[in-house]
Structure 1
Amino acid sequence: MTKLKVKKGNPFALFPLLVFVLLFIGTGIFTKDFSNMPLNVAILIAAAIALMMNRKEKLSSKVETFTKGAGHPNIILMAVIFILAGAFSAVASGMGAVESTVNLGLSLLPTNLLMVGLFVIGCFISISMGTSMGTVVALAPIGIGIASQTGIPLAMAMATVIGGAMFGDNLSMISDTTIAAVRTQNIKMKDKFKVNFLIVLPGAIATALILGIITRGNVADLSGDYQYELFKILPYIAVFVAALLGAHVLVVLLGGTLFAGIIGMIDGSYSFGGFLQLVADGIISMEDLAIIAILIGGVVEIIKHNGGIDYLLYVITSKIKSKKGAEFGIAGLVSMANIATANNTISIIITGPLAKSIADEYEIDPRKSASLLDMFASSWQGILPYGGQMLAAAGLAAISPVSIIPYSFYPVLIGICGVVAILIGYPKFRQTE
């Protein structure tokens, strides 16, 4: 076998990322209060350090590289989703949609199945919608409402929403991560879906069981009559239906905001002026997250430009010596890229061609390599406290993203399922044509 040729890269280019993680997570651990180091301040310091590196390059050139990453289509779309999610959440909450939806759930489901139901709904929506971000912003307000009415921790509710969202992000045939994985490995979407589903299904079942068990005796006494008005639930139903029909996430959020506003004005919950004010308040509440996403995009682009991503690829590929090691290598490649970029789609695009070369050289079925890319990218994306999904859920719930991590059962189980699949050689493949 010939040795794969990969640029050695520059390990020092990763220094801004290290500073960011140490500032944000390290300060929180040291002080036992993650609010002591605001996320926007930590990433701003990391951005400043990134711009000061590589003295041989002109500042104007480094700024251009930074703005190229900050203005990447995926980053800008994420920022727009954030602010539209804030608007929809504020308008729907203002007309009583959240309260009625939560009360309906409390009336119909046993308390120990509320989180299970939230997770299953999230799985169903995300696999139909093809976007974890859209699922998070649609379900987070309901999760927040359930937590406020029960003894369930708010962080657990947000982790459950994210878990359901990552299920579909990993598996949906219209997910951008699935598209990136199958294109780089040159296979059909349905073939990747079958293999990927077989591997992660035990993780989804285990997550539902865990949620049912740990919430059984962990809720308040909810006996009583919970009032709800079905017409106030219509905005969420409309959002879900639009998502299932494949509407773009921006159309879903804009349409949901307008629909909720119309119902609120007809119901008398607020006037037209009040509706506009709620939209403005919702946008303002998410502006901080939009700015953070843009700054992260800029920092990642400078890291990539200076050879940081190349170094990660070099370190992983230099350790590969067997077929099983090659599968772990593919998993490690996309994992490290995702940790560095905080974007599962971009990490798959970056590592996909190299993963294809590894798969061809070590005779790994492309269905398996595509599944590994998508699984491990989705696993890390659902855990990273600076990932878009975690930021969106934490922003809507007004909690630290780090507090969500201990309850991130499904993202962790995706990774565990992936590791087990590599170790036992699962699933078994017939010889490909």
Structure 2
Amino acid sequence: MEKLNEKKGNGVALLPFLIFVFVYLISGIILQIQGVEMAFYQFPAPVAAIIGIIFSFILTKGSLDEKFDIFIKGCGDDNIIIMCIIYLLAGAFSAVSSAMGGVDSAVNLGLTLIPAKYITVGIFVISAFISVSTGTSVGTVVALGPIAVQLVEKGGLNLPLVLGALVGGSMFGDNLSIISDTTIAATRTQGVSMKDKFRANLGFALPAALVTAILLLIFGKPVNIPEAQEYTFNIIKILPYIFVLVASIAGMNVFVVLTGGVIISGAIGLGYGDFKVLQFVQEIYSGFTGMFDIFLLSLLTGGLANMVSSGGGLDWLLYKINKKIKGRKSAELGISALVSLTDMATANNTVSIIINGQIAKEISTEHNIDPRKTASLLDTFSCIIQGIIPYGAQLLIAGSFTSGLVSPVQLVPYIWYCFVLAIFAIISILTPFGNGYLRRNS
């Protein structure tokens, strides 16, 4: 039987994937040059995927019916379908929880509990909690950004540092939240549970967060202590987030967790009169439609990946990569580099994980890497790069709150958490540090 690293494959079959990424990248660069706002998010990724699929149909051998069979089998892969259903439920939970005031209550609770003199590290902690709870770094930046800027003005704080703390905290949650697109994509492509991925990931993400918090405590002290303000919150409205987090870590089935979260959020919203039954149903559907882009992209890239794989494209790529890999550590570094480069090209951490998921799984199998570690690395490094590229949504939105005072490029050096996380993640590859959960549960 031919070993994985002996299959030379066919490099030409990989072209459709490269075309997909190239179209996505070039369109973003052109629109950026033209001064279009959020340039890298204007050309829909599913359309770029369709262009790649068309080229794949042209290059793949066989009849048109045979090509369609290959494409549809990829779209209908079990992991792809499960991933898409989870996206829908995660979207519904996020929409309903937000509509009943859960995000506002969580933010205000954090601002109430954290003393004004610790506001910089407080922004980091609050954004981390919000993003873990809601699964969205962009939503967290949008929710907290105006508050952060206001506190900067009152406290004489370093504006780039505070916004850097905000983005860093939001990326902490994006990386770890069980309802984050990135977590869903990473766990489903590697065939691991969210609970296991969370615990494996926490081994190096938590130390990175603690180091960042210490640095922010030292260097983020306000010149003037902002006057204490009253923030209204309702602890009941935070319960759905706590339920989802605790149930997920406990290992409860993800479909049960998210459905339960939607029901609890809906019951609270109905009980407090935040919406009526019809509005509740509409919020659920709004959450579904909010996930349409990533849902469609997952289906299309699943089909595209299967066509590329059947044509020998992935075998060719793996053959080339494996020639450079000397062992498990270099394989883990290779996976991390692949997803990082893809995120630089696409400015979308979820897309970069979906693109590299199958390749990473093959490399992991060949070099005996724990799939839980692979899922953690895919998620971690995609979030690291997403948090520091100045054309990513997170920095673009954060910069927009400053009325032109601070550009996204100027924010990059202040995203301390992402840089510290990169260091700890690399250490976890090269040493036993951060891998305690994997060793105990191997």
Residue 247 of structure 1 is aligned with which of 234, 238, 252?
A: 252
Residue 108 of structure 1 is aligned with which of 108, 113, 119?
A: 113
Aligned mates of 2:425, 2:241 — CA distance in 1: 34
Report the CA distance between 1:103 and its aligned residue.
0.8
Change (3 A) 1:272 1:163: same
Change (3 A) 1:209 1:67: farther
Aligned mates of 1:30, 1:327 — CA distance in 2: 38
On the 8 A contact 1:101/1:233 being kept in 2, the answer is yes
The amino acid across from 2:49 in the alignment is I
Aligned mates of 2:13, 2:44 — CA distance in 1: 23
On the 8 A contact 2:109/2:231 being kept in 1, the answer is yes
Change (3 A) 1:409 1:328: farther
Residue 137 of structure 1 is aligned with which of 135, 138, 141?
A: 135
The alignment partner of 1:228 has SS state of coil
Aligned to 1:27: 27
The amino acid across from 1:114 in the alignment is G
Aligned to 1:332: 334
Aligned mates of 1:415, 1:90 — CA distance in 2: 31
Greater mean alpha carbon deviation, residues 198-207 or residues 57-66: 198-207
Aligned to 1:290: 295
Aligned to 1:51: 57
Aligned to 1:276: 281
Aligned to 2:378: 377
Aligned mates of 1:213, 1:16 — CA distance in 2: 49
Aligned to 1:224: 229
Greater mean alpha carbon deviation, residues 39-48 or residues 198-207: 198-207
The amino acid across from 1:166 in the alignment is N
Aligned mates of 2:289, 2:177 — CA distance in 1: 29
Aligned mates of 1:352, 1:253 — CA distance in 2: 29
Aligned mates of 2:289, 2:4 — CA distance in 1: 49
Report the CA distance between 1:329 and its aligned residue.
4.4
Aligned mates of 1:296, 1:11 — CA distance in 2: 18
Report the CA distance between 1:370 and its aligned residue.
7.4
Question: Which consecutive segments of 4 or more residues in structure 1 shift more than 6 A?
Answer: 152-156, 177-181, 196-201, 210-218, 369-372
On the 8 A contact 2:74/2:305 being kept in 1, the answer is yes
Residue 349 of structure 1 is aligned with which of 351, 361, 366?
A: 361
Aligned mates of 2:229, 2:205 — CA distance in 1: 38
Report the CA distance between 1:351 and its aligned residue.
1.5
Change (3 A) 1:208 1:72: farther
Could you report, residue by residue, the CA deviation over 1:3-48 in whole angstroms, capped at 9, with x for unpaired residues? Answer: 9952112222221222222222222123212233222221222222
Aligned mates of 2:104, 2:425 — CA distance in 1: 38
With structure 2 as the length reference, what TM-score do the two structures score? 0.68
What stretches of structure 2 of length at least 5 have no aligned partner?
A: 33-38, 150-158, 343-351, 387-391, 400-407, 434-442
The amino acid across from 1:314 in the alignment is Y
Change (3 A) 1:302 1:215: farther
Report the CA distance between 1:156 and its aligned residue.
7.3
Could you report, residue by residue, the CA deviation over 1:170-197 in whole angstroms, capped at 9, with x for unpaired residues? Answer: xx9xx9589869xxxxxxx9xxx89x98
On the 8 A contact 1:88/1:256 being kept in 2, the answer is yes
Aligned mates of 1:164, 1:106 — CA distance in 2: 18
Could you report, residue by residue, the CA deviation over 1:51-76 in whole angstroms, capped at 9, with x for unpaired residues? Answer: 2222x312222222222222222222
Between Structure 1 and Structure 2, how many residues are aligned? 377
Change (3 A) 1:77 1:147: farther
On the 8 A contact 2:79/2:188 being kept in 1, the answer is no
CA RMSD of aligned residues (A): 4.6
Change (3 A) 1:267 1:418: closer
Aligned to 2:347: none
The amino acid across from 2:354 in the alignment is A
On the 8 A contact 1:10/1:311 being kept in 2, the answer is yes
1:171-250 maps to which residues of 2 (within 5 A)? 176=187, 203-209=208-214, 223-250=228-255
Residue 95 of structure 1 is aligned with which of 75, 93, 100?
A: 100
With structure 1 as the length reference, what TM-score do the two structures score? 0.69
The alignment partner of 2:6 has SS state of coil
Aligned mates of 2:243, 2:335 — CA distance in 1: 39
Report the CA distance between 1:247 and its aligned residue.
1.6
Report the CA distance between 1:256 and its aligned residue.
1.1
The amino acid across from 1:145 in the alignment is A
What stretches of structure 1 of length at least 5 have no aligned partner?
A: 126-134, 182-188, 357-365, 386-390, 428-433
Aligned mates of 1:46, 1:71 — CA distance in 2: 18
Determine whether 1:149 maps to 2:147. Answer: yes
Aligned mates of 1:156, 1:305 — CA distance in 2: 45
The alignment partner of 1:318 has SS state of helix
Aligned mates of 1:239, 1:6 — CA distance in 2: 45
The alignment partner of 1:76 has SS state of helix
Aligned to 2:175: 166
Could you report, residue by residue, the CA deviation over 1:362-398 in whole angstroms, capped at 9, with x for unpaired residues? Answer: xxxx7xx87974564344443577xxxxx9x98xx99
